[in-house]
A and B are shown apart, each in its own frame.
Chain A
Amino acid sequence: ETGVTQTPRHLVMGMTNKKSLKCEQHLGHNAMYWYKQSAKKPLELMFVYSLEERVENNSVPSRFSPECPNSSHLFLHLHTLQPEDSALYLCASSQESGSETQYFGPGTRLLVL
């Protein structure tokens, strides 16, 4: 595996479900990011982790809970989501947080019913 991978690629869940999105980077980077991409809106930064420590949380509702167990893995735990949370969730990584080019995974397309 190379680059940044994300699983699952597609997810349909009900508002009462609990699910998790997984991201893994094979680039030896120290920073990882979660973005939300909704239709017709610019990318929204959700969370930034640098060396497994959260350095940014852009006023994201608590129904989204990130976890970074090591510098290669990043999770986004989802619970009691709303239909407006349906979007493409993109994971990215960079050598250091913020100052370097970010490389993205293929994203998870989430539909909340």
Chain B
Amino acid sequence: AQKITQTQPGMFVQEKEAVTLDCTYDTSDPSYGLFWYKQPSSGEMIFLIYQGSYDQQNATEGRYSLNFQKARKSANLVISASQLGDSAMYFCAMRELMDSNYQLIWGAGTKLIIKP
């Protein structure tokens, strides 16, 4: 079974609009972390934002915020006032303890295209 699910393979959004990228996860570990990364066409994976499972407040980082709904096991990324430079692949990942080591489990990604 997939541990990280990103249901939107691709999205088109008008410039300056807000966009929400979906991510749901599955884990039985009470201590976990959730990450969002951005990958432009150049290939580099850029860290955007992190949410710990015990964090009481939703993480925010500039125009990025994470809508963390623990009971629903969702960790959606919200980008406010989208810009053309936001066009990229976006990956959700979960840090989970596996075989005594922490590993990152990755979703399949969402391709976001910002229209001018």
Q: How far is the CB of A54 from chain B (nearest CB, A)?
A: 11
Which listed segment binds B: A14-22, A64-72, A98-106? A98-106
Q: In this assembly, does B69 line the interface, its C-beta being within 8 Å of a C-beta of chain A?
A: no
| Partner-B contacts on A (CB < 8 A) | 40-43, 45, 48, 55-56, 88, 90, 92, 97-99, 101-107, 109
Q: In this assembly, does B108 line the interface, its C-beta being within 8 Å of a C-beta of chain A?
A: yes
8 Å CB contact of A42 from B43, B50, B102, B107: B107
**Contact A48/B101 with A98-B95, A103-B47, A106-B43 known, Cβ cut-off 8 Å:** yes
Q: How far is the CB of A35 from chain B (nearest CB, A)?
A: 8
Q: Could you say which interface size class chain B belongs to?
A: 20 to 34
8 Å CB contact of A102 from B42, B47, B105, B107: B47
A107 and B107 contacting across the interface, CB-CB below 8 Å: no
| Partner-A contacts on B (CB < 8 A) | 4, 35, 37, 42-47, 50, 91, 93, 95, 101-109
Chain B residues with Cβ under 8 A from A45's Cβ?
Answer: 103-104
**Contact A40/B43 with A48-B101, A97-B102, A98-B102 known, Cβ cut-off 8 Å:** no
